[in-house]
Amino acid sequence: MENTHKDARAREQAGAQLASIEELVTCLEHAEACDNTECGADCTHNEDEAREAILADALSVQVRSDWHTPGDTADAGEYKILLCWGGPSVQILGALDEHGQPYSAELQYQDWFTEWMDYPLTDTEEQMLLMYAQQFYFDQ
């Protein structure tokens, strides 16, 4: 039976990316909190390794600036983290504060010849995405 939702495949990919991000962030939180290497957790106990796993997960990271007067220095105002591309594609978008740190995060997906769609997130999932995004360096 053919799926009647043209974005179903891309939406499923967004869900898979979200699950992967949750696992990466859970490992980072564990590495930050646990000093017992014998605790039996199925992830690294090294914070640097956990952060490196997050940084290696993204395909690309980009920023863009807000409107500004010509000649003024423009600080980045928004970020985009591309998680996968092609058909389907998934990305995280958000806003940056005056220190270049993410303070918002939303997950979007698309398939060939379709518009970007917002993936509905719970507050917990949004916080997970935000913690993931905060591991990246967005300053110049």
Given a cut of 60, is residue 18 above it in pLDDT? yes
C-alpha dihedral sign at 100, 17, 127, 38:
negative
- The predicted-structure confidence for 92-116, as pLDDT tens digits, reads as follows 999 999 888 999 999 999 999 899 9
C-alpha–C-alpha distance, residues 108 and 101, integer Å: 20
Given a cut of 50, is residue 133 above it in pLDDT? yes
Given a cut of 70, is residue 4 above it in pLDDT? no
Q: Region 9-22: what's the mean pLDDT?
A: 96
Given a cut of 50, is residue 1 above it in pLDDT? no
Please give the model's pTM, rounded to 2 decimal places. Answer: 0.87
Q: Is 117 exposed, middle or buried (0-12, 13-18, 19+ CB in 10 A)?
A: middle
The whole-number pLDDT of residue 68 equals 67
The whole-number pLDDT of residue 29 equals 94
The answer to whether 92 and 133 have CB atoms below 8 angstroms apart is yes
Confidence of residue 140 (pLDDT cuts 50, 70, 90): low
The whole-number pLDDT of residue 109 equals 97
- The predicted-structure confidence for 28-48, as pLDDT tens digits, reads as follows 999 999 877 778 788 888 999
